């Protein structure tokens, strides 16, 4: 007979709420640290946001980046940044925005081609103006904010505003720490990263909805059980589903990280972090946050529910 896959034994009774103050404090620390990193260190904006010219070129032999940088810096187009991309023979060339509109951008590209000479394969060339980059940053922030607001309203309507608020706090933690990771590691932050951040928010709330569903179900079954015991019971009952789902998703994302190429590497890193931190926040922020609210506000029961449930077995 077919049996469901279980990475966690069905009778697991981990007392997650025992450490909820420490884990919540750790989440606050990571969030604040991420904000400070972005504020003082900043992000390594890609061409989408920073503006300028990006060229991906490839040579038959490994080029000397130092000589190449010195040569290109002398053709009068400003500071040139070079970076190996994917393999040692492929180079990303970043040029500053040129004054004079589109014609000036094309002229700069022509100067680079002429300076490099023959024997190069030009794989892609992208140009983004500073106004376009600023507009993309604004639109990216609006997109993330609207997505999180929509998720908050959905959870609020489906459960209660207390659930929605805890889900929102957990998503803010997930999104902010993901951006902070990119600042810490100096990874390129571009439109693909914004797509990854939105994906992290969606994946995060999916796991939280599953936990909230189980909490609400157990509240109806054990109306006098203390809320901490109800949360522990609910988290343990969904733990197997969470580990299987996160594990299978991680397999796909790790494959994307290993074989998706340099262009998708930042996207994959954001998803790997998002899956891990989203699972953490589901237990340590979204679920544990309900401990700080009165039971009667969540369950609609009597204010004496907690006292009546003192006799219930711990972690039942």
* Share above pLDDT 90 across residues of the chain, in percent, rounded to a whole number: 8
Do the two domains 16-44+133-308 and 52-128 of this chain adopt the same fold? Answer: no
pLDDT in tens, 228-259: 888 888 888 888 888 888 888 889 899 988 88
As a CATH number, domain 52-128 is 3.30.70.3400
pLDDT in tens, 103-124: 777 888 888 888 887 778 888 8
The Cα 297–Cα 160 span in angstroms is: 9
CA 159, distance to chain mean position in Å, is 25
pLDDT band at 40 (very low <50, low <70, confident <90, very high): very high
Question: Is pTM, for the whole model, over 0.75?
Answer: no
Other beta carbons within 10 Å of 223? 16
Other beta carbons within 10 Å of 136? 19
Q: Where are the domains of the chain?
A: 16-44+133-308, 52-128
Q: Which residues contact 87 (CB under 8 A, 6 or more apart)?
A: none
Q: Which fold has domain 16-44+133-308?
A: Multidrug efflux transporter AcrB transmembrane fold (1.20.1640)
Mutual angle of helices 161-185 and 191-221, in 10-degree steps: 150
- Quote helix, strand, coil % in the chain, to nearest 5: 65, 10, 20
Place of tokens 């809320």: 227
pLDDT in tens, 270-282: 999 988 888 888 8
Q: What ranges in 84-221 are assigned the alpha helix state H?
A: 101-116, 130-158, 161-185, 191-221
Q: Strand 120-128 to strand 52-59: parallel, antiparallel, or no bridges (unpaired)?
A: antiparallel
């Amino acid at each position: 007979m077919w049996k469901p896959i279980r990475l966690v034994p069905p009778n697991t009774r981990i007392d997650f709420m025992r450490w909820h103050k420490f884990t919540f404090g750790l989440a606050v620390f990571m969030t604040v640290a991420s904000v400070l990193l972005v504020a003082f260190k900043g992000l390594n904006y890609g061409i989408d946001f920073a503006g300028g010219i990006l060229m991906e070129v490839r040579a038959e032999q490994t080029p000397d980046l130092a000589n190449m940088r010195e040569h290109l810096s002398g053709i009068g187009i400003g500071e040139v940044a070079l970076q190996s991309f994917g393999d040692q023979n492929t180079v990303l060339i970043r040029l500053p925005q040129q004054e004079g509109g589109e014609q000036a951008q094309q002229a700069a590209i022509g100067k680079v081609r002429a300076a490099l000479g023959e024997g190069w394969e030009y794989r892609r060339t992208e140009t983004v103006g500073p106004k376009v980059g600023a507009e993309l940053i604004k639109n990216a922030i609006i997109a993330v904010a609207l997505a999180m607001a929509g998720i908050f309203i959905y959870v609020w309507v489906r459960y209660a505003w207390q659930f929605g608020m805890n889900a929102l706090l957990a998503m803010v933690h997930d999104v902010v720490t993901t951006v902070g990771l990119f600042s810490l590691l100096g990874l390129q932050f571009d439109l693909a990263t914004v797509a990854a951040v939105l994906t992290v928010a969606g994946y995060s709330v999916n796991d939280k909805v599953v936990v909230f569903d189980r909490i609400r179900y157990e509240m109806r079954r054990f109306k006098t059980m203390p809320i901490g015991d109800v949360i522990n019971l609910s988290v343990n009952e969904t733990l197997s589903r969470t580990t299987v789902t996160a594990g299978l998703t991680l397999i796909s994302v790790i494959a994307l990280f290993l074989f998706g190429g340099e262009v998708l590497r930042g996207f994959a890193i954001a998803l790997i972090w998002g899956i891990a931190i989203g699972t953490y926040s589901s237990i340590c922020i979204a679920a544990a946050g309900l401990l700080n609210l009165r039971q009667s506000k969540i369950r609609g029961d009597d204010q004496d529910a907690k006292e009546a449930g003192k006799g219930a077995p711990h972690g039942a």
